Amino acid sequence: MYKKTDKSDNRVTINTLAKLKQQGEKFTCLTAYDASFAILLDNAGVDVVLVGDSLGMVIQGHDTTVPVTMEHMIYHASCVASNLEHALLMVDMPFMSYTNIEQALKNAARLMQEGGAQLVKLEGGRTQLDIVRALADRGVPVCAHLGLQPQSVHKTGGYHVQGRTRDAAQTMIKDASLLEEAGADILLLECVPDLLAQEITSNVTIPVIGIGAGGNTDAQVLVLQDILGITPGRPPKFSKNFMAGKGSVREAIDAYIQAVKNGRFPAEEHIFS
């Protein structure tokens, strides 16, 4: 096991992220599902660690995130939480764990109390406003996930870039504002055209994290296994193998952080138009 450094006085909060947005400084997010990678990311200075329900694919070997349960999320979140001293811990609410206010409050509380989450992420736009408001009113920090929503993949029929038509783009712009008004602290945009992500990022005052959303969001997130080049099959267009030419996992993570902060990632070839 890696030795942890003492960064406890340097903990990232949602206020830190809001300040970074105001200052025009990019911040970084990567996924982790276990203690070893959590410590590596934390020591490297990643700002937000996401225990994503992508663990359904990355850890469990499923085709989608749909089979992931609350118990899985709590287990992996708790493996990560106790090993972070710097990064903010964001945890996904899994499929069907927030279908009404009562259920969402109960499950968000479990992710925070049993999993150690400091911010919960849920998918959906205007249909989630009451849930986001209920969570926010009770002191639960929320990240609202717009654009490609992997939990709906069986309904949408695949993993496609979202917001390409004028109507879909207008709906997403409006949803982003409504979610901010409802109390969301962060937005995450997945697989949306560069210009749309740019417009949403400048329309809202809360920080926007992008994945496949171009270079103008306030932050970037990628799946750790993708940047280490160990995801089986063809890597997603929006990702980059930062392990190439590097001697260690830590060097690859450092390169990702630098590239995001300097605006060198994402490059043209990672962006949707």
Residues that bind ligand KIV (CB under 6 A): 31, 50, 52-54, 92, 188, 190, 211, 221, 223
CA distance 176 to 117: 23
Q: Which among 94, 172, 182, 176 is positioned nearest to 136, based on CA atoms? A: 182
- Ramachandran region, residue 24 (left: φ > 0; alpha: ψ -120 to 50; beta: rest): left
Question: Does the active-site annotation cover 190?
Answer: yes
Which single residue is written with the structure tokens 């969570």?
Answer: 135
Least separation in angstroms between CB 132 and ligand KIV? 16
Report the residue number whose CB is nearest to ligand KIV.
52
Is residue 17 a contact partner of residue 51, using CB atoms and an 8 Å limit?
no
Write the single-letter amino acid at 265: F
CA distance 135 to 129: 10
- Written as six digits, the tokens of 21 are 């947005």
- Written as six digits, the tokens of 89 are 């811990």
Least separation in angstroms between CB 68 and ligand KIV? 9
For ligand KIV, the closer CB: 47 or 53: 53
For ligand KIV, the closer CB: 223 or 255: 223
In this structure, what are the phi and psi dihedrals at residue 88, rounded to the nearest 5 degrees?
Answer: -80, 135
CA distance 227 to 250: 11
Least separation in angstroms between CB 12 and ligand KIV? 17
Peptide bond connecting 236 to the previous residue in cis, omega within 30 degrees of 0: no
CA distance 232 to 227: 12
Least separation in angstroms between CB 220 and ligand KIV? 10
Least separation in angstroms between CB 27 and ligand KIV? 14
For ligand KIV, the closer CB: 50 or 257: 50
For ligand KIV, the closer CB: 79 or 221: 221
Residue 148: strand, helix, or coil: coil
Is residue 70 a contact partner of residue 110, using CB atoms and an 8 Å limit?
yes
Among residues 190, 199, 251, 268, the one annotated as catalytic is 190
For ligand KIV, the closer CB: 131 or 191: 191
For ligand KIV, the closer CB: 50 or 259: 50
Least separation in angstroms between CB 53 and ligand KIV? 5
How far the first Cα of the chain sits from its last, in Å, is 43
- Which residues are known to be catalytic? 190
